[in-house]
Amino acid sequence: MWNHHVLMERLNVQYPIIQAGMAGGITTPHLVSTVSNAGCLGTLGAGYMNPVDMKDDIRQIKQLTPHAYGVNLFIPEFPSVTKSELKNAELLLDPYRKNLQLEDEPGIKDRENVFDKQIELILQERVPVCSFTFGVPSKDVIKDLKDAGIVVIGTATTVEEAIINEEKGVDLIVAQGSEAGGHRGTFLGPYENAMIGTMSLVPQVVDHINIPVIAAGGIMDGRGVVAAFALGAQGVQMGTAFVTSTESGADAQYKEAILQATENETVITSAFSGKPARGIQNRFIHEMKEYGDQILPYPLQNTLTKDIRKAAAIHKSPEYMSLWSGQSPRLSVGESATKILESIILQAEKVKSGN
C-alpha cells in the first residue's frame, strides 16, 4: 500500500508519515531522528527557537540519523500594543505568577526578526525539508529554499489558504483539520471560520490544488492513515501521537494528561500564545477565557506566559501548562516512537487489506 505515493519520493522516506514539528521542546533531536530512522519524516519544531539552539539541534539530528528530516518554522508577526494594553495583560497573569512564586515580570523587548536567520541556517545546513505555519513565506524565500534542493511544505486550514500556498510555490501542503492539537495554522481571517474537520477539509483541498496534500488532524493510528489516503491525501502528519512517546521532550505531567484525556476535553484557547491552539482544558485556560479580548496578540502573549509555563512544569502543575492535544487522546500510547510507528504501519496494512 505504500509504494505509489509521490510524496515518499519527494521526501525521500519509506512511509509517507510526518511527525509534526511541534514547538516548545517536544521535538528533541532524539525524537526527530528516531522517527526518521523508522523510515518516516521527523521534524524539529523550531518556531520559537533562536538560530544558535536550532543549529545545535540540527547538528545533533544529523549525527543521529542519515535519513531525511524536516524543520518547522513560524512566519513572523510584529504586532504593536500600547503600554496600557501590555500592563493590563501583565496584570491578568499576576495571580499565576504569584502562585508559581515568579518574581520579575518578563517584559517585552523589541523582538528581532530571527526568521531571516532561521532561513539562512536552513540553507547553510541543507536541511532536507522545511515546513511553515501561520502563513506562507515570500516567493523569494520559497525559491531560495527550492533552488537549494530543500522541499517546502506549507500549512492550510481552508481551500483558499491551500490555493495561496500553491500559488506561492510550495511543494506540498499540510491540510490541517479542526481535530488537530496545538496551534491552528489559519492565516486568513478569524480561526472560527476555518475549523473544518479533516473528513471535510482534505477532499475539498485535494480537488482544488495540483500539488500533493498531507492530511493532519485526528490521525493517530493505522485507521487514520488509511482514511486519510482514501480522502485523497498523499501523506499524513501526526503530532499528538508523538507527544507521549518516550523520546518526546514533553514533561511527564503533559504526557500523562494526554494519556488520561477523553475526546471531549480539549478546547481552543489563545491564552498561552495569543494565537488559537487546541489543548486539554485546564484552570489557566478556563480562568483566562473571560479576558479573551485583553490577551495580547501572538507572539507577545507567548513571551508573557513563557516563564509561567516553565515554572508550572517545574512545579508539576499541569493546570498552568499548555497541554496541546488533538481530539483523539484516547488513541495515544506511551511507547517509543519506533514502536508507535511500527504499530501504525502494521495496522494501516491490516486495515487496507482487511476492508
The residues binding a copy of itself (CB under 8 A) are 1, 158-160, 177-179, 193-201, 203-204, 207-208, 217-221, 223-224, 226-232, 262-265, 326-328, 330-331, 351-352, 355
Please identify, using beta-carbon distances, which residue of 123 and 331 lies nearer to a copy of itself.
331
Asked if residue 1 lies in contact with residue 218, where contact means CB atoms within 8 angstroms, the answer is no
Please identify, using beta-carbon distances, which residue of 179 and 247 lies nearer to a copy of itself.
179
Please identify, using beta-carbon distances, which residue of 107 and 190 lies nearer to a copy of itself.
190
Please identify, using beta-carbon distances, which residue of 244 and 305 lies nearer to a copy of itself.
244
Least separation in angstroms between CB 37 and a copy of itself: 26
Please identify, using beta-carbon distances, which residue of 136 and 238 lies nearer to a copy of itself.
238
Least separation in angstroms between CB 3 and a copy of itself: 11
Please identify, using beta-carbon distances, which residue of 46 and 220 lies nearer to a copy of itself.
220
Least separation in angstroms between CB 292 and a copy of itself: 14
Least separation in angstroms between CB 353 and a copy of itself: 11
Least separation in angstroms between CB 43 and a copy of itself: 21
Please identify, using beta-carbon distances, which residue of 138 and 260 lies nearer to a copy of itself.
260
216 φ, ψ (degrees, to nearest 5) = -140, 150
**How many CB atoms are closer than 10 A to CB 210?**
6
CA distance 259 to 257: 6
Please identify, using beta-carbon distances, which residue of 151 and 243 lies nearer to a copy of itself.
243
Q: Is the peptide bond before 29 cis (omega within 30 degrees of 0)?
A: no
Least separation in angstroms between CB 148 and a copy of itself: 33
Least separation in angstroms between CB 73 and a copy of itself: 25
Please identify, using beta-carbon distances, which residue of 1 and 86 lies nearer to a copy of itself.
1
Least separation in angstroms between CB 186 and a copy of itself: 10
Q: What is the 3-state secondary structure (H, E, C) of the chain?
A: CCCCCHHHHHHCCCCCEEECCCCCCCCCHHHHHHHHHCCCEEEEECCCCCHHHHHHHHHHHHHHCCCCEEEEEECCCCCCCCHHHHHHHHHHHHHHHHHCCCCCCCCCCCCCCHHHHHHHHHHHCCCCEEEEECCCCCHHHHHHHHHCCCEEEEEECCHHHHHHHHHHCCCEEEEECCCCCEECCCCCCCHHHHCCCHHHHHHHHHCCCCCCEEEECCCCCHHHHHHHHHCCCCEEEECHHHHCCCCCCCCHHHHHHHHHCCCCCEEEECCCCCCCEEEECCHHHHHHHHHHHHCCCCCHHHHHHHHHHHHHHHCCCHHHCCCECCCCHHHCCCCCHHHHHHHHHHHHHHHHHHC
Least separation in angstroms between CB 328 and a copy of itself: 4
